[in-house]
Amino acid sequence: MRRWSYLNNGASLALDAAACVGCGACLELCPHGVFSLEAGKARIAHRESCMECGACAGNCPTGALSVKAGVGCAAAVINGLIRGTAPSCDCGCDHDEEGPSAKRADPSRGCC
């Protein structure tokens, strides 16, 4: 699985390990493989790949996950599509290309 890295993403993602029952829903739902399962509990394995979409938190049966959905790159791109404007999160990337880092206006900034 190819992993995208989103600058500053995952900052609002939190996991309450004590509340986790290890059901694996977060592993199945996360589009970027942010989570892994260790010793029967979820673990944030790739925070930098989190696009803060909220799928994990919204589907966690015990409320062990929280994330401020709508603050990441995904939300900005979706909002652009809804408004009919060019999808943009002001990161300098061309999101119409393959993956968020396909083209960067400023390569030193990274993406999202």
pLDDT in tens, 17-76: 999 999 999 999 988 899 999 999 999 999 888 888 888 999 999 999 999 866 666 666
Nearest to 4 by CA among 73, 96, 105, 60: 73
pLDDT of residue 107: 41
DSSP for 43-110? EE--GGG-----HHHHH-TT--EE--TTSSHHHHHHHHHHHTSPP--SSSB-TTSSSTTSSBSSGGG-
Radius of gyration of the chain from its Cα atoms, rounded to whole angstroms: 15
Which comes out higher in pLDDT, residue 85 or 87? Answer: 85
Gap between the Cα atoms of 98 and 4, Å rounded:
11
Q: Which domains does the chain have, with CATH numbers?
A: 14-66 (3.30.70.20)
pLDDT of residue 12: 87
Entry pTM: 0.61
